């Protein structure tokens, strides 16, 4: 199915609500749409001990939220890498810089902070070609998470569909307690509804599955509370712009058909 216009989409929902699952399904059903997950990019940086990963690892493990500036830089760098932004100034240090580069900054306190805090894409905006071309359609999974981020993102890329995924807290908590992950690929399994063929092992590689460090009830409750505090003004922001759409469901399989139907109505 070919899109008739560019889709610039965000998914908003509590941690564990299934944003990643919906991203994968949309990407499969609509090949012109590409997904960018802030959570996956952050975990990749932590695992590979990049400068950003080292900085935020402790925050993520305790259920805290990474600063707005760093998340915005992560996303804008990714959009810039894809050639969809115009303007900005040369980058000082990319978020995928190696651990060796991070180590080279040891003993130079100001250098590490300055490299991460600088905004190399200040002034960058969506290019005219990307604004009009359906092939430059994208979905931001898990970003923005605050109204402040959303307003800053508006200056770079005009989001034209914000989806709020709604699932009861108890359902999400049960889902998280049953979740296992293949870290190298990011594949997620759930013993309740998407179990691996061999318990404890990835279907593709046969490698062991692990529990995420933040997949505990204590950590999740902290994340959920912080999400609630920030999501209300975020959703209000997109509601005022006329691009907010809510979908309710107890499972990803219940939500997906509704999501497909609305996406097709808007962009096909």
Q: Tens of pLDDT along 1-41?
A: 789 999 999 999 888 898 878 888 999 999 999 888 787 77
Rounded CA separation 160/14 (Å): 21
- pLDDT at position 56: 78
Q: Who has greater pLDDT, 76 or 185?
A: 185
CB-CB contact of 100 with 148 (8 Å): no
Sequence-separated (6 or more) residues with CB below 8 Å from residue 28: none
Is pTM beyond 0.85? Reply is no
- pLDDT at position 155: 84
CB-CB contact of 264 with 1 (8 Å): yes
What is the Cα 3 distance to its own chain's centre?
22
C-alpha dist (Å) from residue 239 to 82, 114, 119, 265: 28, 36, 28, 19
Whether 76 has a pLDDT exceeding 70, the answer reads yes
Neighbours of 66 (CB within 10 A): 16
CB-CB contact of 175 with 190 (8 Å): yes
* E-assigned strand segments in the chain: 8-12, 33-37, 85-86, 125-126, 137-141, 161-166, 179-182, 187-190, 244-248
Mean pLDDT lowest among 8-17, 82-91, 219-228, 235-244:
82-91
Which letter, b or e, does each residue of 41-50 get, where b requires 16 or more Cβ atoms within 10 Å of its Cβ? bbbbbbeeeb
Rounded CA separation 139/7 (Å): 8
User: Reduced to 3 DSSP states, what percent helix, strand and coil does the chain have, rounded to the nearest 5?
Assistant: 45, 15, 35
Whether 121 has a pLDDT exceeding 60, the answer reads no
């Amino acid at each position: 199915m070919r899109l008739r216009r560019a889709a610039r989409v965000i998914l908003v929902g509590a941690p564990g609500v299934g944003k990643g699952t919906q991203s994968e399904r949309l990407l499969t059903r609509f090949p012109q749409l590409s997904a960018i997950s802030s959570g996956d990019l952050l975990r990749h940086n932590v695992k590979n001990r990049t400068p950003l990963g080292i900085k935020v690892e402790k925050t993520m493990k305790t259920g805290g939220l990474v600063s707005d500036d760093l998340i915005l830089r992560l996303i804008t760098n990714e959009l810039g890498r894809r050639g969809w932004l115009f303007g900005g100034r040369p980058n000082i240090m990319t978020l995928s810089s190696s651990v060796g580069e991070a180590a080279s900054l040891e003993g130079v306190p100001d250098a590490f902070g300055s490299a991460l805090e600088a905004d190399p894409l200040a002034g960058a905006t969506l290019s005219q070609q990307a604004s009009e071309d359906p092939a430059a359609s994208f979905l931001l999974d898990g970003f923005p998470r605050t109204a402040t981020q959303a307003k800053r993102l508006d200056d770079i890329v005009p989001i034209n569909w914000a989806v709020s995924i709604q699932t009861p807290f108890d359902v999400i908590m049960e889902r998280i307690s049953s979740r296992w992950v293949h870290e190298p690929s990011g594949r997620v399994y759930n013993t309740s509804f998407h179990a691996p063929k061999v318990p404890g092992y990835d279907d593709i590689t046969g490698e062991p599955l692990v529990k995420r460090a933040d997949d505990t009830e204590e950590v999740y409750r902290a994340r959920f509370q912080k999400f609630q505090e920030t999501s209300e003004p975020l959703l209000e922001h997109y509601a005022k712009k006329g691009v907010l759409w809510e979908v309710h469901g107890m499972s990803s399989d219940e939500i997906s058909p509704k999501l497909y139907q609305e996406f097709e109505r808007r962009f096909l």
